[in-house]
Structure 1
């Protein structure tokens, strides 16, 4: 079994819940193990975050065999009163966190392939 990711002790701009949601937005069939590796979280932490997101209606899943397919509620307003008061939605958050499909599938050397420094 893989070792738990090294703990991150400094504060960050993006929460673990947002990171997990962005990982799912990138791949609606992503495995918990892969989310954990991408987000530098334990699998148990990812399971808890997914449960939180499902409980509050931001995420749902269907199970087919051994695979989960996740569905995000893009129109759901963010929870914090500061964002909720402005009507900011999950879609607006994900537009900042998730790579555009054209960038994600572009090959290096392709004019649509962009990288950030």
Structure 2
């Protein structure tokens, strides 16, 4: 998972729910602690967001030993009426970096 850059103040285009979902899409076995660090959220906030996403059917998880493995329902449609015809897969295609792109970029970019 890529590290977060410097701090930011003010508004942003992407919600925390989308950031958490993208982090999980990037690594389905990611730890809450790592999501929190990457998204610059508290672990508690990440837990609430995951709970929201599970409650509304966007995400599920299975427990394997001490590890959670998350599964995103990529065919589920987005919630807001303005994006109601777009799937989670469409959103994630914009937010998650393809492995081939990641391999080509030097570290830190």
Partner of 1:101: 99
Consecutive unaligned residues of structure 2, counting only runs of 5 or more, are 1-6
Partner of 1:30: 30
Greater Cα offset, 7-16 or 51-60: 7-16
> What secondary structure does 1:62 align onto?
strand
TM-score under structure 2 normalisation?
Answer: 0.87
Distance, in Å, in 2 between the alignment partners of 1:59 and 1:33 is 18
Distance, in Å, in 1 between the alignment partners of 2:8 and 2:82 is 26
Consecutive unaligned residues of structure 1, counting only runs of 5 or more, are 1-6, 107-112
Q: Aligned residue pairs: how many?
A: 102
Is 2:17 aligned against 1:17? yes
Distance, in Å, in 2 between the alignment partners of 1:114 and 1:34 is 22
Distance, in Å, in 2 between the alignment partners of 1:9 and 1:114 is 27
Distance, in Å, in 1 between the alignment partners of 2:62 and 2:9 is 35
Distance, in Å, in 1 between the alignment partners of 2:8 and 2:67 is 30
Note the alpha carbon deviations across 1:56-95, whole angstroms, 9 max, x for none. Answer: 00000000111000000000000011000xx101000000
Greater Cα offset, 7-16 or 62-71: 7-16
Distance, in Å, in 2 between the alignment partners of 1:63 and 1:93 is 26
- Which residue among 86, 89, 93 is the counterpart of 2:87? 89
> What secondary structure does 1:48 align onto?
helix
Cα deviation, residue 102, structure 1: 1.3
CA RMSD of aligned residues (A): 1.8
